[in-house]
Chain A
């Protein structure tokens, strides 16, 4: 398996596995440094080492941190993974409000779920994370999905993406994958959350564990 960046990190070389596999994180958010084994939280904070809250994303850190996603450390060279916490929170709020979604609705999203999803899409490459974290405007996808993305999301082919364009576009693309329309184009119902996430990915090739990739994709995102 080839990855962009951090290819020497064992976590990144592991194949996709069902829950219980080697990618599962310890119960507590891990810093990735191993220091949590020998230092308590206060000692780590005193040493300037963040723990799961993304405080190490920058000098100020996010105002509304989202807990680190297991397997995706946010300290040291992984601090960038906390860099979008505030934008994720704001975009999830905006998405739910835009579509009138409330807790319990099939396509209702939480910041934690979206952060987990973003890690699945771009959590291994800082450059991708900081440009198109949802990977919604991936060039190779454009041939088939481009006209719909142009019509629904206003994206253009080869558009330079930023988190401010990627986050709302990715969430609305997910909403469109999850919504059921009638012949007048009116939304008449919704698929369940795993099905909608699976349709966002859409890759039906079989993974080494014998399941279609989109099912593993969904399990990974929802299982963290």
Chain B
């Protein structure tokens, strides 16, 4: 009997939701404005009434104009979930305006406190008694994000918690290819990559990139502090496909013919400073200055 009653109630609830849905969805068009920019940069969000974004202010710094938006996702009571806990997350989005064009630069995760924009500063209104502490330069206090002439800082320290700028550039291009391929090392803002050449081998065309990750600021935490790799992508009709990579030292590299030359210090044994492609493409393992290195997929 109770199940039947529950079923009827559930049916009524679903019907009520369906009736209410058009009105609720009409409030926010999740396919235009900032939502379209977020989609293009592959920031995923729940396109429903649990999610909202609002323009909070403008920052002028280094001759550029930045538009500051708040973002909140607060799981509502009606969402199916596996426990009583309702999750939430909050953030600040930074966009750059050039004329009429807006470009999404990235976002910071933040605490669930209101904030205001003054001059070059995003100021968070932590309640009295909440720990604030010091900020990460150029910010002085742990309740602010201060832009300098370079724009939004890569690292912030809010209320004693570190966060990195989740920049849009690291969500697109080769970073997205690496993410989708399950690349195991960081692809966030402290990771850098640059193309050093191309190699044709076995009828295929490969693009060679040098990758580096250096944790900033350096921590004593048991986490990856730095990593250097040579990345190999295959150029296919639909674009680049990540083939794999070799771990290397922090040394420059360039391409000569079918070889990737690593510029180790003088005294490196002959042959231990290069990765030579053959008709099968990149070799499965190579002997480098720092020992044997496998081609990791």
Q: Give residues in A with beta carbon < 8 Å to B.
A: 1-5, 7-8, 15-16, 119-125, 127-129, 135, 138-148, 150-152, 154, 156-157, 176-177, 179-186, 188-189, 191, 199, 201-205, 213-214, 217, 220
Measured CB to CB, the closest approach of chain A to B89, in angstroms, equals: 4
Binds A, one of B25-33, B217-225, B273-281: B217-225
Residues of B within 8 A of A181 (CB): 157, 160-162
B6 at the interface (CB under 8 A from A): yes
Interchain CB contact under 8 A, A202 and B86: no
In the complex the two chains form, what is the Cα distance from A92 to B74 in whole Å?
A: 29
> Which residues from B are CB-within-8-Å of A145?
89, 109
The interface on chain B, measured as residues whose beta carbon lies within 8 A of the other chain's beta carbons, has a size of 59
The reply to whether the CB of B112 lies closer than 8 angstroms to some CB of chain A is: yes
A201 touches B87 (CB 8 A): yes
Residues of chain B touching chain A, judged by Cβ–Cβ distance below 8 Å, are: 2-3, 6, 10, 13, 43-46, 71, 73-91, 107, 109-113, 131, 133-137, 157, 159-164, 166, 179, 182, 186, 188, 217-221, 223
A144:B87 contact, CB within 8 angstroms: no
- Known pairs A151-B164, A183-B137, A186-B220 / 19 extra A-B pairs, C-beta < 8 Å: A2-B81, A4-B81, A8-B3, A121-B82, A124-B84, A143-B107, A144-B91, A144-B110, A147-B188, A150-B186, A151-B223, A183-B217, A185-B221, A191-B160, A202-B111, A202-B112, A203-B85, A203-B86, A204-B74
CA distance A124 to B81 in the complex (A): 8
On whether A140 and B87 interact (CB within 8 A), knowing A150-B186, A191-B131, the answer reads yes
A202 touches B82 (CB 8 A): no
Given A183-B135, A186-B220, A202-B112, verify A147-B166 contact (CB < 8 Å). Answer: yes
Evaluate contact between A135 and B78: CB separation under 8 angstroms: no
A138 near B90: Cβ-Cβ < 8 Å: no
Q: Is the CB of A203 within 8 A of B217?
A: no
Q: Which residues of A contact B182 (CB under 8 A)?
A: 156
Max chain B CB contacts within 10 Å: which of A150, A199, A203?
Answer: A203
User: Is B163 a contact partner of A148 (Cβ separation < 8 A)?
Assistant: yes
With a 10 A CB-CB cut-off, give which of B81, B163, B179 has the most chain A CB atoms. B81
B128 vs chain A, min Cβ distance (A): 14
Please give the distance in Å from B236's CB to the nearest CB on chain A.
Answer: 24
A125 and B75 in contact (CB under 8 A), knowing A143-B43, A151-B188, A179-B160?
Answer: no
Q: Is the CB of B109 within 8 A of A144?
A: yes
Shortest Cβ distance from residue B158 to the other chain A in the assembled complex, whole angstroms: 10
B218 contact set on A, CB distance < 8 A? 185
A-B CB contact pairs (8 Å), 18 listed: A4-B80, A120-B85, A138-B87, A139-B44, A140-B87, A140-B89, A144-B71, A152-B223, A176-B161, A179-B160, A180-B131, A181-B160, A183-B134, A183-B135, A183-B157, A188-B160, A202-B88, A204-B113
